[in-house]
Amino acid sequence: MLDLKFIRENVEKVKEAVKNKNEKTDVELILSLDEKRRSLLSEANELKHQRNVVTEKIAQMKKAKQDAKEEIERMRKVSDQIDSLDKELKEVEEKIASLLLTVPNVPHSSVPIGFDEDLNVVVKTWGEVPKFDFEPRPHWELGQILGILDLPKAAKVTGTGFLVLTGKGAKLQRALINFMLDLHSNKQGYKEILPPFMANRQSMTGTGQLPKLEEDMYLCEKDDLFLIPTAEVPVTNLHRDEVLKAEELPIYYTAYTACFRREAGAYGKDTRGMIRVHQFDKVELVKFVKPETSYEELESLVKDAEEVFQLLKLPYRVRVLCTGDLSFAAAKCYDIEAWAAGVGKYLEVSSCSNFEDFQARRMGIRFRPKEGGKLQYVHTLNGSGVALPRTMIALLENYQTKQGTIIVPEALRTYMGGLEEIK
């Protein structure tokens, strides 16, 4: 959420952000409501002041055993006026508040302007794309040959868009999760969190999934709880409505969770195998930082996620998202995309974003600067470190052999009981 005052003072900037992000919020409407709000406010203020003054006078008179009937009668009328002004004010404020939730964050000046993902810019490529002297198989074939991925059984249990890992496949995924969590928590200094996989409306609004993305999430109606689409939700909300100490910052968290997405509207896209599924595992990175450091923190966040692929020796590239592809709440975002030899394309495995104070304002996460002065909103960042199914895809497809077996990357072997090859 943007500051109403900021919108008032940066109308053009905000309108441009709305346009460049392909949103359609009526900024002018917000401004006119804001004007109305302020005039109602000053009117009500004046009456309230009057009431406060006379009320005290009444108290004095009562103490002195004087008759205050006349004043009381007068204030009764004033109170009625205040009531009706307050009611009107409340309506206006509610309208503003709900409109404010539909204003997207303003992209950082370094973000390329563009309509959609075709205008994202590759800023880095790492590793050699493997060459095979045979036709590399896609992961669903490898999974079936090796008996580690069973899509028909998943369809039986749940329906399309789910997967069942079995045997070495399940073990490989668990190894990856442990490997990532250990990397982030032991080496990179993130505190490990195991949060709920469900979250309430307030949390979803805090991180910005609501109100816009309600249709993309699974809702348990009886309890009005959502299955989380990412660990970002529960982990960032950990500090909702808190004032953090300056010396606590920066705070780094890492969390493994399952993630649930309805993928409404994505039908027909990446339906094969496990590229796009309704439930997947992910290890997430979340940061709470001081505003002046958030862009350095974004760079280091990306590096921390990249290290996963470097240690696994999986080739990848990093793209900076253009305005049109940037999510609603983000000011800047890098995608990490791993090369998958079997399907022959780069797959998005991590999205690392700086939200600046956009989420913090919604959630009320502030800190007291050491130098004194007013409370400030923290900046929040998060990124996948990283998403499991697509990393599995990259691993299986890049490490496959002609015989259809999989060489286990060295970094994972201790997590696989020393296993060197899945066959």
**Could you confirm whether 276 is annotated as catalytic?**
yes
Our CA dihedral for 200, 205, 211, 216, rounded to 10 degrees, sits at: -60
Copy the structure tokens of residue 250.
Answer: 């920066």
Q: Which is nearer to RNA, 43 or 270 (CB)?
A: 43
Residues near RNA (CB under 7 A) are 3-5, 38, 41-42, 44-46, 48-49, 51-56, 58-59, 62, 72, 75-76, 78-79, 90, 243, 366, 368, 370, 372, 374-375
Q: Tell me the closest approach of the beta carbon of residue 144 to RNA, in angstroms.
A: 33
**Could you confirm whether 348 is annotated as catalytic?**
yes
* 203, 294, 350, 351: the active-site residue: 351
Copy the structure tokens of residue 245.
Answer: 């100490």
Q: Tell me the closest approach of the beta carbon of residue 375 to RNA, in angstroms.
A: 5
* 276, 319, 361, 362: the active-site residue: 276
Q: Tell me the closest approach of the beta carbon of residue 157 to RNA, in angstroms.
A: 20
* 350, 353, 390, 397: the active-site residue: 390
**Tokens 């990306």 label which residue?**
302
Q: Which is nearer to RNA, 149 or 365 (CB)?
A: 365
Q: Report the distance separating Cα 46 and Cα 152, nearest Å.
A: 70
Contact 250, 297 (CB under 8 A): yes
3-class SS of residue 123: strand
Q: Which is nearer to RNA, 327 or 376 (CB)?
A: 376
Q: Which is nearer to RNA, 91 or 116 (CB)?
A: 91
* 348, 368, 413, 421: the active-site residue: 348
240 Cβ contact partners less than 8 Å away, ≥ 6 residues apart: 202, 203, 206, 363, 364, 365
**Could you confirm whether 390 is annotated as catalytic?**
yes
Q: Tell me the closest approach of the beta carbon of residue 85 to RNA, in angstroms.
A: 11
Alpha-helix runs per DSSP H in 224-269: 232-236
Q: Which of 279, 282, 267 is nearest to 351 (CA)?
A: 282
* 37, 137, 261, 361: the active-site residue: 261
**Could you confirm whether 185 is annotated as catalytic?**
no
Stated length of the chain: 423
Q: Report the distance separating Cα 24 and Cα 75, nearest Å.
A: 46
**Could you confirm whether 261 is annotated as catalytic?**
yes
Q: Tell me the closest approach of the beta carbon of residue 295 to RNA, in angstroms.
A: 23
Catalytic residue positions, numbered: 261, 276, 348, 351, 390
